[in-house]
Amino acid sequence: MGPDPWLFEKKAIEKGFSKIAGIDEAGRGPLAGPVVSAAVVLPSSFQVPGISDSKKLTPKKRDYLYEKIYELAVSIGIGIVDPTEIDRINILQASLMAMAMAAENLVPQPDCLLIDGIFTVSSALPQEPIPKGDGLSISIAAASIVAKVTRDRLMEKYHQYYPQFGFSRHKGYPTKAHKAAIRKYGCCPIHRHSFKGVREYL
């Protein structure tokens, strides 16, 4: 996180906005499972140390921060797009759809969106895309943690249905073990058929 993790939120407040949501997604790269987005509005009084890009945190730290964010956030919205829809519209469009869904699911609704990446989403709300935003904005970093933990927990549930693939370990990402399991067992209903590492075994 940069020298001032609230910099983009402060800029939005200067423009007259008061409920600023950070949005990020998890699960663009895996061969299986949904893409999950989170939108988080933090109160200005939020002072929990350690909020950062979820990829830089240990699972234990992510779980702790996830609980603190849920305890203290003004509102949290989740958007989930399943593998069938990912195959139909492609992973980029599915990610943007999940982000828009997460924003729509915020109660109360925000008046401004800060979005990780270079794209805007389908929303009438004012929005600002921020490249590498999960390392620059505390709201986006909080959203990245919520999205990652939400998706990881979903993949752990899927592991109970399809234990042969090891989803609880790799969460659907293209590890050697996951690719070997696809070669051995074929695909299961949550695999993304449009992805190269899956398509060749259909």
Buried b (16+ CB within 10 A) or exposed e, 166-176: bbeebbbbbee
What residues does each domain of the chain span? 7-199
pLDDT along the chain (202 residues), means of 10: 91 97 98 98 96 94 98 98 98 98 97 98 97 97 98 98 98 96 96 94 78
Fold type of domain 7-199: Nucleotidyltransferase; domain 5 (3.30.420)
- How would DSSP label each residue in 102-166? HHHT-SSPPSEEEEESS---S-SS-EEEETTGGGT-HHHHHHHHHHHHHHHHHHHHHHHH-GGG-
**The pLDDT value given to residue 202:** 76
pLDDT for res 3: 85
- CA 10, 119, 2, 29 dihedral sign is positive
